[in-house]
Amino acid sequence: MSEENLYQEERSDGLLEFLIETKVRRDPKLLTKSKFLNGLQCPKLLWTRCNAPLEIPEPTAALQKVFDTGHLVSELATRCFPGGVHVQEDDFLKNLAETQALLASKDPKPIYEAGIKAGRLYARADILRPSPEKPGVWDVIEVKCSTKCKDVYLQDIAFQRYCYEQAGIRIGRCYLMHVNNTYVRDGDINPHELFTLLDVTEEIKPFYGVTPSLVKGFLDIIDMPACPHISIREHCRDPYECQMIPICWAFLPREHVLELYRGKSKGFDLIDQGVLRLKDIPDNVKLSANQQIQRVCAITQQPHVELDEINTFIKSLRYPLYFMDFETIFEVLPRFNGTRPYQQIPFQFSVHIQRTPGGPVEHHAFLHKKADDPRLEFIKALSACMGQEGDVVAYNQSFEKLRLKEIGEQFPAYRQCCEDINLRLVDLLVPFQKFYYYHPDEHGSASLKKVLPALTGKGYEGMPIADGGQATSEYSRVTYGAGVDPIDRAKVYADLEAYCGLDTGGMVDILTALRVITKG
């Protein structure tokens, strides 16, 4: 389900920079491009990275996957600039020495992963190429897994240019190379079509102009004897989700003000005023209707229930009901012909069918266990278990709806089937998103992961696979990875079936609980 995706292109590049730096030994007091971006986001993060790096949580398996994918993307990008030299990556001193030798060569070639140090500054270029226009001048090419240009990338490139020029390297043009999300795979991946090359020489100038003063300020922060105190704010997740959130936010109590529905800024303001708990929000603070419901529930520790609205929703359902959920892979490098970067590819579904209100439930499931494109087998199996009448119940239906639309376009023989299912979709998210029902244990979220335990007492705690991101990662590992133990693969598949089955079985339980509530 889309709300659970852990691996997002918006996060991948910042995490990749961090992971690269954890693998290369160098002076911790150097200001690298990754640390420069840390400083822009939060001085506390910068200081900790340089002075107490062990306090930052270790990268997870999901982040390691980001690192591995980033390397594949970078390798593909170098094919657009053939004839170059890939310098040593893991040994810091060799990286510097090999780069310097290549920069001084009378026969300059593109340099991949060129590491350059200027005093306490260090940056490693994805690609440095000899300028085709000016001898002795080099162009900077920064490769990103994202599908668009962002200010944080321009700041990244501006720092690189400053570092290289401080080292005496003449820089000509600066480029951002990002993924082209309109590219459709047809045969082997074509790197010239996969990437978009943007000349951002002019765009980085405003950022470049302030870089010297920022560098000075960040070096001063690194040299501070103690960590600066920085209040938590929106910057904790902008432009990347900070790995120190579990540490910096640990002081927050249960049912805290950052759980306010669509009210993060208001929550931060309340924290600055010394108000941490929802129940302690003063009467004179202006809250939206839904936020006021949260406050009252925190005070009373009782759920909010709008019986008429819930009854209307339940009575609108047309039986039989088909509770449906998909799991998908979504990779920057499209794995199958006819797919695009980051396209969601369904590999699993679970369907629970209830033919009468409160009646028995039957379960149908599909999990593709081969390394080829799962979509055709997926839709064949789905169409076989979906009747012609009755509502199809999903949680956050826009996700499943778009997947069906895409499959129908790719496989015309099943287009009508996909369209018919979409016409019958009903979203079980609605009663919770609209606060017809709200329990304080939802903690401001209407997600299935929060609603199910709050309403029924059941949940995902203790499950080997407990969220969509983990499901995606584990499925990819055992299905497409090399040398996977068959016992490991079988266990992961069983865990996937249990996880997806709980998603749809949980929806049945939620609807049953709502029925009980309306009957008093």
Model confidence over 17-50: pLDDT tens digits? Answer: 554 554 444 678 999 999 999 999 999 999 999 9
Domain at 358, CATH number: 3.30.420.10
Question: In this structure, are residues 481 and 510 in contact, taking their beta carbons and an 8 Å threshold?
Answer: no
Rounded Cα distance between 499 and 504, Å, is: 9
Tell me, yes or no, whether 298 lies in a domain.
no
Phi, psi at 344, each rounded to 5°: -80, 120
Q: Which of 222, 244, 264 is the last residue of a domain?
A: 222
Q: If you average pLDDT over residues 319-331, what whole number do you get?
A: 97
Same-domain check for residues 203 and 315: no
pLDDT 10s digits, 141-182: 999 999 999 999 999 999 999 999 999 999 999 999 999 999
Q: Are residues 211 and 314 in the same domain?
A: no
- Count of structural domains, the chain: 2
Alpha-carbon span 183 to 383, nearest angstrom: 29
Domain assignment of residue 165, given as a range: 2-222
Instruction: Give me the sign of the Cα torsion angle 436, 439, 445, 446.
Output: negative
Residue 290 lies in a domain: no
Same domain, 38 and 185: yes
Residue 268 belongs to a domain: no
Domain check: are 370 and 496 in the same one?
yes
178, 199, 222 - which closes a domain: 222
- Statement to judge: residues 320 and 213 lie in one domain: no
pLDDT band with cut points at 50, 70 and 90 for residue 11: very low
Q: Among the three residues 222, 256, 289, which one is the final residue of a domain in this structure? A: 222
In a shared domain, residues 57 and 204: yes
* Mean pLDDT value across residues 493-502: 98
DSSP state for residue 420 in the 8-state scheme: H
Domain contains 175: yes
279 part of a folded domain: no
Residue 65 — pLDDT band, cuts 50, 70, 90?
confident
Q: Is residue 123 part of a domain?
A: yes
Residue 3: pLDDT over 60: no
Sorting pLDDT into bands at 50, 70 and 90, what band is 60? Answer: low
Q: Are residues 218 and 315 in the same domain?
A: no
Residues 207 and 354 in one domain: no
Candidates 35, 54, 44; CA nearest to 226 is 44
| pLDDT at residue 444 is higher than 50 | yes
Is residue 251 included in any domain, yes or no? Answer: no
**Cβ 478 vs Cβ 419: under 8 Å:** no
111: β partners: 85, 128
C-alpha 346: how far from chain center: 17
Picking from 114, 154, 115, the residue whose alpha carbon sits closest to that of residue 30 is 115
Q: Quick one: 206 and 315 in the same domain?
A: no
Query: Quick one: 325 and 463 in the same domain?
Result: yes
Report the alpha-carbon distance of residue 109 to residue 101 in Å, rounded. 11
**In-domain check, residue 343:** yes
Residue type, 489: R
**Could you tell me if 61 and 184 lie in one domain?**
yes
The predicted structure's pLDDT at residue 59: 73
Q: Is residue 458 a contact partner of residue 498, using CB atoms and an 8 Å limit?
A: no
Are 205 and 339 members of one domain?
no
- pTM, full prediction: 0.91
- Under the banding of pLDDT at 50, 70 and 90, the label for residue 58 is confident
Q: Among candidates 334, 424, 339, which has minimal Cα distance to 382?
A: 424
CATH classification at residue 12: 3.90.320
**pLDDT digit string, tens, across residues 222-241:** 999 999 999 999 999 999 99
